[in-house]
A and B are shown apart, each in its own frame.
Chain A
Amino acid sequence: MISVKILGTGCKRCNNLETQVRELVKRNAIEAEVEKVSDIRQMIGYGIIATPGLVINEKVKSTGIIPKDDVILQWLKESKNE
């Protein structure tokens, strides 16, 4: 099971990324637990200072941007074998 966290304070871009990731996971039948984290302390704990942040298996993959579908999918596939 891959753990995916979307970190954001509830702005529009953060919600967009959450929807996008959930959809990707569903459409590609990836076994992943997607979680939205809005606690600022946790966010800072990962070193994220620009929202939205994307964390896969506890590794920060992107901050401040909404990555493209194929890029996220690539990350998810790489994380499957960890």
Chain B
Amino acid sequence: MDRKIKLYLPLILLPVWTVLYTGLASIANALIYTLAGLTRGTHFTESAWFFVYEVPKVLLLLVLIVFIVGIVRSYFSPERAREILGGKKLFTGNILASLLGVVTPFCSCSAIPLFLGFVESGIPLGVTFSFLIAAPMINEVALVLLFGLFGWKTALLYMSTGLIIAMFSGYVIGRLKLERYVESWVYEIKAGRLQPNGEKTPFEDRISAGIDAVKEIVGKVWIYIVLGIAVGAGIHGYVPENFLAGLMGKSAWWSVPVAVILGIPMYSNAAGIIPVIQALLEKGASLGTALAFMMSVIGLSLPEVIILKKVLKVQLIAVFIGVVGTGIIIVGYLFNLIY
């Protein structure tokens, strides 16, 4: 595609996006009641309408946000984060690292090289952990789904409490002085330094980065979203109201820790888990419990622990899970208290 055209493409597509997004309810009504001729009020109609409305809504939001985030991310890189964090002390370093963890492009398969690169350049262990906790837990897919399905307040609360957990967990790990539980070969490694190529990236390339991000991320998660919303739609239409209140409601004090513990071995991306959580909430599960479950599933995952096992001894992994898990439990209770 011609480079200049790429620059204007988003400007042309934005009005189309807006018209589609604002017209979603009417489109769903037309499809369900007029075209398919379903009767209002039945379980099946409820489920079908939910599905036909939510799937395009979430996908549209996802395309827009992933595109914008893709452009923002093109200004950051793990190498850049390492440069910024170099020489930072605990606390300020933890705050910065958590924030950078959110905006820096990061894939959990890069966790080991990133860990080595950070530690080798003298970034404190606790600061490195803040980055590694924030990066997977707060991601654009999770935020879009929370925003789309629960509203901006919940999305904002998730983001801010997630950041606080990353900052404090990293800080606590740093204060505990656990360096001896890092595999010893890590400290013997000698890292090279990349020479910045000094070329200025033209804005067209950043637009391209946004488009690539949409292709890659939306291409990967759309199926989970459709399946997740399908399950959600089923629960929405068929499971009775307040069905889960006793099990996952506020009155069940033990539900938060149980949700977190259940979440650790479970591995799912945000896309698959959130629509299910929405349905759970609707049937009486409390927000704190549901969010704690979600944070645990995304932020504390078994595959990541297995990857980290290459560079960390078991004791440090246990502390990591313990500290982050405790943070999530506190956030869970806090949400249950507020709402």
| Residues on A facing B (Cβ under 8 Å) | 8-14, 40-41, 43-51, 60, 63-65, 68
Indicate if the CB atoms of B78 and A49 lie closer than 8 Å: yes
- Min distance, Cβ B14 to any Cβ of chain A, angstroms: 25
Interface pick from B161-169, B190-198, B225-233, B242-250: B190-198
Contact yes or no, B110 A64, CB < 8 A: yes
Complex contacts, A68 vs chain B, CB 8 Å: 208
Given contacts A13-B107, A64-B105, contact A48 B113 (CB under 8 A): yes
Q: Mostly helix, strand, loop or mixed at chain B's interface? A: helix
**How many A-B contacts at CB < 8 Å in the complex?**
72
Known contacts A44-B117, A44-B120; A49 and B79 CB within 8 A of each other? yes
Extra contacts, 12 of them, besides A44-B117, A51-B107 (Cβ < 8 A), are A9-B110, A9-B112, A11-B109, A14-B109, A40-B112, A40-B116, A45-B191, A47-B192, A48-B117, A49-B110, A50-B110, A51-B110
Does B82 sit at the interface, judged by CB under 8 A? Answer: yes
Q: Is the interface of A mostly helix, strand, loop or mixed?
A: loop
**A14: which B residues are within 8 A, CB to CB?**
109
Residue from A8, A49, A63, A64 with most neighbouring chain B CB atoms (10 Å): A49
Give the docked Cα–Cα distance between A44 and B309 (Å). 18
Is B77 an interface residue, CB under 8 A from the partner? yes
Neighbouring A residues of B116 by C-beta, 8 Å: 40, 44, 49
Cβ B82 vs Cβ A49 within 8 A: yes
| 28 residue pairs bridging A and B, Cβ less than 8 Å apart | A8-B109, A11-B107, A11-B110, A12-B109, A13-B107, A14-B109, A40-B113, A40-B116, A41-B189, A44-B117, A44-B120, A44-B190, A44-B192, A45-B191, A47-B117, A47-B192, A47-B193, A47-B194, A48-B113, A48-B117, A48-B194, A50-B113, A50-B114, A51-B113, A63-B77, A63-B79, A64-B78, A64-B105
